[in-house]
C-alpha cells in the first residue's frame, strides 16, 4: 500500500497523469458506442435531427414522388411516437423506441429531383449544406439514384435510395454510403422468367422496346439473359428515347417482325404510352407463329397500372410490393397509410417508408449518428415484418434481398385499387446472385 505521507514529487506526477487520463476517458467508458470523430451535420446536443426527402415533386414521376412524400411523413410521425405506429409494430428485430432517433425528434426537409440528375444533385446538396440533413433518401429514377448516391458518398452522408431498379445502382455504381431496399432488374428477370416460360412456352420470339438510359439497358439485359436462357429468341432490341410520347413508329415495325412477344422495358409515362399504343395497334389480338401475341412489362407499379387503364389487364410483370399482400407488416402499413390518406400506398411509398425506418433503426443499433457505424449496422442486417418476408441488406453491395412478386394486370378488379393480381411470390433464393457479377467498388467507410 502506498504511504501517502511519503509521496515524492515523481510519484505525485505519476498519479496525477494516470488520474487525468482516467478522467478524460471516462465518458467513453460510460456511454455506449460513443465516437470522438466529428462528422458532417452531427446533431450534437440538438433536440432534433433533420432527414432530407429528395423526391420528384415535378416532372413525369411527380405523382409517384407525392406518394413517396406521403410515406416519409408517415414514417416521421411513427418514429416520433405519433399515430398508430404502422410497421414499427411488426418490424423485427427492432431497436426503435418511438421517441425519435436516439431520443432526438425527427424533422425533415424536402427537395425536388424533377427526375433530372443535375436537379436532384443540386437539391440534395442544398439539403446537406444548408438544411443540415443527416441522411438523404428518395427518388424515382435510377439515373437520379446513381447521381445522388455519388454526391452522398463524397459528402459523407448516407443515402437510402427510393425507387431505383437498375442493376447499376448496387452494381457498377454502388457506394459505401448508398443502400437500396428496392429490388432490381436482375431480380425481375429471375422472377419473371420461369413464369413466362410456364405461361407462354419455350419457343417464342421476343421484341424489346427499351428506354434509352441506365435502367432500360440493364432491364433489357436481364430479361434477355433469362428468356434466352430457356430458349426464347430475341428478334430485335430497339432503344427508344425517354419521354417519346408517340411510340407508333417503334411499334409498327413489330407488326411484321415475326416476333410473338413484345417486352416493354419502359417505366412511368413511357410505359403507359407504349402499352396503350401497342394495344391500339392490335398486338394483343394478333396471332403470330400460331400463338397469341403477348406483351410483357417487366416492372409494374399500381400507379402506372392506373394510368394504363384497361390496357394493363392480363399483362405480366414484376413488382417490389403490393398493397394487397396479407402479411402482418403490409396490413399494418396499408391500414395506417389508408387511414391517413384515403388510398393504399404504392410500391414506391412502401420502399421509402421502410428505408426511413431502417435508417433510424441502424442509428439506434449503432448508438450514434456517426455514418461509418450506422453503415456497419445496416450491412448484413436481417429483418422481417416489413412486408416482403425475411429480408437481408447484403453487406457486399448494399442490396436488399427478399421475395419478389410476379403480378398480372387484374382482369376483374374488386375495387378501383385492385389493379394487380399476385401470380407468384418468387422466393429470395431464386433471385439471389453473386455480388461480383455486376462489378463496382463500395469505397471507404471514412470520407
Partner 1 sequence: MDAIIIQILNGVDKGAAYALIALGLTLVFGTLGIVNFAHGALFMLGAFCAVTFNKIMTLSVKIKDESVTLFDAYKEEPYLKIWFGETGEALIDYAVPLSILFAIPIMILVGYVMERGLIRHFYRRPHADQILVTFGLAIVLQELIKASFGANPIPQAAPAILAGSANVGSWIGLGDTLVYPWWRLIYLGFSGLIIFSVFAFLQFTTYGMVVRAGMRDRETVGLLGINIERRFTIVFALAAVVAGVAGVMYTPILPPDYHMGMDFLVLSFVVVVVGGMGSLGGAVAAGFLLGIVQSFASMNEVKQILPGVDQIIIYLVAVVILLTRPRGLMGRAGVMEE
Exposed, middle or buried by CB within 10 Å (0-12, 13-18, 19+), for 367? Answer: middle
* Shortest distance in whole angstroms from residue 389 CB to partner 1: 19
Among 252, 289, 292, 430, binds partner 1 (CB under 8 A): 252
User: Which CB atom, from 230 or from 417, has the smaller least distance to partner 1?
Assistant: 417
Site string for partner 1, 337-376 (x = CB under 8 A): xxx--xxx--------------------------------
User: Which CB atom, from 271 or from 375, has the smaller least distance to partner 1?
Assistant: 271
Exposed, middle or buried by CB within 10 Å (0-12, 13-18, 19+), for 12? Answer: exposed
Tell me if 37 sits within 8 A of 44, measured CB to CB. no
Q: Which residues on adjacent β-strands are paired with residue 207?
A: 236, 262
Calpha distance 50→152 (Å, rounded) = 15
User: Which CB atom, from 225 or from 235, has the smaller least distance to partner 1?
Assistant: 235
* Shortest distance in whole angstroms from residue 91 CB to partner 1: 18
User: Which CB atom, from 193 or from 216, has the smaller least distance to partner 1?
Assistant: 216
* Shortest distance in whole angstroms from residue 107 CB to partner 1: 26
User: Which CB atom, from 39 or from 281, has the smaller least distance to partner 1?
Assistant: 281
Stretch that binds partner 1, among 84-92, 100-108, 135-143, 246-254 (CB under 8 A): 246-254
Calpha distance 347→302 (Å, rounded) = 8
Cell numbers standing for residue 351: 420502399
* Shortest distance in whole angstroms from residue 62 CB to partner 1: 3
User: Which CB atom, from 236 or from 422, has the smaller least distance to partner 1?
Assistant: 236
* Shortest distance in whole angstroms from residue 29 CB to partner 1: 49
For residue 63, give the H/E element and its range: helix 62-79
Q: Is 85 left (phi over 0), alpha (psi -120 to 50) or beta?
A: left
* Shortest distance in whole angstroms from residue 353 CB to partner 1: 15
Q: In angstroms, how far apart are the furthest CA atoms of the chain? A: 107
DSSP assigned state of 242:
T
Cell numbers standing for residue 420: 394487380
Q: Position of cell 462489378?
A: 439
For residue 304, give the H/E element and its range: helix 302-308
Task: Find the binding residues for partner 1 in span 183-212 (CB under 8 A).
Answer: none
User: Which CB atom, from 114 or from 153, has the smaller least distance to partner 1?
Assistant: 114
> Quick check: helix, strand or coil at residue 376?
helix
Kindly provide the residue ranges of all beta strands, DSSP E only, lying in 154-260, ordered along the sequence.
Answer: 158-161, 178-180, 205-211, 233-240
Among 246, 289, 396, 439, binds partner 1 (CB under 8 A): 246
Q: Which of 239, 307, 237 is nearest to 271 (CA)?
A: 307
Among 35, 213, 230, 417, binds partner 1 (CB under 8 A): 417
User: Which CB atom, from 129 or from 246, has the smaller least distance to partner 1?
Assistant: 246
> Residue 132: which residues within 8 A CB-CB, separation 6 or more?
41, 43, 50
Calpha distance 323→162 (Å, rounded) = 17
User: Which CB atom, from 284 or from 428, has the smaller least distance to partner 1?
Assistant: 284
Neighbours of 284 (CB within 10 A): 18
* Shortest distance in whole angstroms from residue 355 CB to partner 1: 22
User: Which CB atom, from 288 or from 360, has the smaller least distance to partner 1?
Assistant: 288
CA 350 to chain centre: 9
Q: Position of cell 457506394?
A: 175
Calpha distance 114→65 (Å, rounded) = 9
User: Which CB atom, from 95 or from 233, has the smaller least distance to partner 1?
Assistant: 233
For residue 123, give the H/E element and its range: helix 117-129
Q: Position of cell 389487364?
A: 313
Task: Find the binding residues for partner 1 in span 47-106 (CB under 8 A).
Answer: 58-63
* Shortest distance in whole angstroms from residue 192 CB to partner 1: 24
Among 14, 47, 202, 335, binds partner 1 (CB under 8 A): 335
Among 80, 205, 233, 306, binds partner 1 (CB under 8 A): 306
User: Which CB atom, from 214 or from 399, has the smaller least distance to partner 1?
Assistant: 214
Q: CA dist 85 to 111, 138, 179, 354, 357, Å?
A: 25, 21, 24, 13, 11
Task: Find the binding residues for partner 1 in span 218-237 (CB under 8 A).
Answer: 236
Site string for partner 1, 269-288 (x = CB under 8 A): x--xx--xx--xxx--xx--
Q: How many residues bind partner 1 (CB under 8 A)?
A: 51
Q: Is 418 in the site for partner 1 (CB under 8 A)?
A: yes
Among 231, 245, 380, 444, binds partner 1 (CB under 8 A): 245
Rule CB under 8 A: which residues touch partner 1? 58-63, 236, 238, 241, 243, 245-246, 248-250, 252-253, 255-257, 269, 272-273, 276-277, 280-282, 285-286, 303, 306-311, 331, 334-335, 337-339, 342-344, 414-418
Amino acid at each position: 500500500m502506498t504511504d501517502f505521507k511519503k509521496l515524492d514529487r515523481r510519484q505525485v506526477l505519476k498519479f496525477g497523469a494516470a488520474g487525468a487520463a482516467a478522467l478524460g476517458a471516462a465518458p467513453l467508458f460510460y456511454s455506449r458506442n460513443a465516437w470522438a470523430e466529428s462528422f458532417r451535420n452531427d446533431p450534437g446536443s440538438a433536440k432534433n435531427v433533420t432527414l432530407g426527402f429528395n423526391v420528384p415533386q415535378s416532372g413525369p414521376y411527380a405523382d409517384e414522388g407525392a406518394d413517396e412524400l406521403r410515406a416519409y411523413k408517415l414514417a416521421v410521425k411513427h418514429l416520433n411516437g405519433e399515430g398508430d405506429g404502422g410497421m414499427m409494430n411488426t418490424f423485427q428485430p427492432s431497436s426503435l423506441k418511438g421517441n425519435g432517433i436516439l431520443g432526438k425528434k425527427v424533422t425533415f426537409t424536402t427537395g425536388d429531383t424533377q427526375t433530372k440528375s443535375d436537379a436532384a444533385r443540386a437539391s440534395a446538396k442544398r439539403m446537406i449544406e444548408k438544411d443540415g440533413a443527416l441522411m438523404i433518401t428518395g427518388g424515382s429514377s435510377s439515373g437520379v439514384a446513381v447521381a445522388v448516391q455519388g454526391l452522398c458518398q463524397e459528402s459523407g452522408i448516407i443515402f437510402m435510395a427510393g425507387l431505383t431498379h437498375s442493376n447499376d445502382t448496387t452494381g457498377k455504381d454502388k457506394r459505401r454510403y448508398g443502400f437500396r431496399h428496392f429490388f432490381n432488374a436482375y431480380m425481375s428477370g429471375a422472377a419473371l422468367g420461369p413464369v413466362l416460360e410456364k405461361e407462354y412456352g419455350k419457343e417464342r420470339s421476343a421484341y424489346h422496346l427499351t428506354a434509352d438510359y441506365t435502367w432500360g439497358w440493364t432491364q433489357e439485359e436481364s430479361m434477355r439473359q433469362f428468356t434466352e436462357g430457356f430458349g426464347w429468341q430475341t428478334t430485335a432490341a430497339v432503344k427508344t428515347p425517354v419521354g417519346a410520347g408517340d411510340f407508333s413508329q417503334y411499334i409498327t415495325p413489330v407488326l411484321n417482325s415475326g416476333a410473338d412477344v413484345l417486352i416493354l422495358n419502359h417505366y412511368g409515362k413511357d410505359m403507359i404510352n407504349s402499352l396503350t399504343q401497342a394495344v391500339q395497334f392490335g398486338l394483343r389480338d394478333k396471332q403470330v407463329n400460331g400463338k397469341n401475341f403477348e406483351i410483357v412489362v417487366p416492372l409494374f407499379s399500381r400507379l402506372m397500372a392506373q394510368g394504363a387503364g384497361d390496357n394493363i389487364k392480363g399483362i405480366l410483370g414484376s413488382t417490389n410490393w403490393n398493397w394487397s399482400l396479407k402479411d402482418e407488416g403490409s396490413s399494418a402499413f396499408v391500414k395506417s397509410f389508408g387511414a391517413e390518406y384515403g388510398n393504399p400506398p404504392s410500391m414506391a411509398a412502401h420502399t421509402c417508408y421502410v428505408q426511413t425506418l431502417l435508417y433510424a433503426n441502424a442509428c439506434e443499433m449503432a448508438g450514434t449518428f456517426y455514418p461509418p457505424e450506422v453503415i456497419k449496422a445496416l450491412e448484413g442486417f436481417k429483418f422481417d415484418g416489413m412486408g416482403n418476408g425475411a429480408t437481408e441488406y447484403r453487406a457486399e453491395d448494399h442490396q436488399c434481398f427478399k421475395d419478389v412478386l410476379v403480378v398480372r394486370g387484374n382482369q376483374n378488379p374488386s375495387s378501383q385499387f385492385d389493379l394487380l393480381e399476385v401470380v407468384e411470390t418468387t422466393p429470395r433464393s431464386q433471385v439471389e446472385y453473386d455480388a461480383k457479377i455486376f462489378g463496382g467498388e463500395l469505397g471507404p467507410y471514412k470520407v
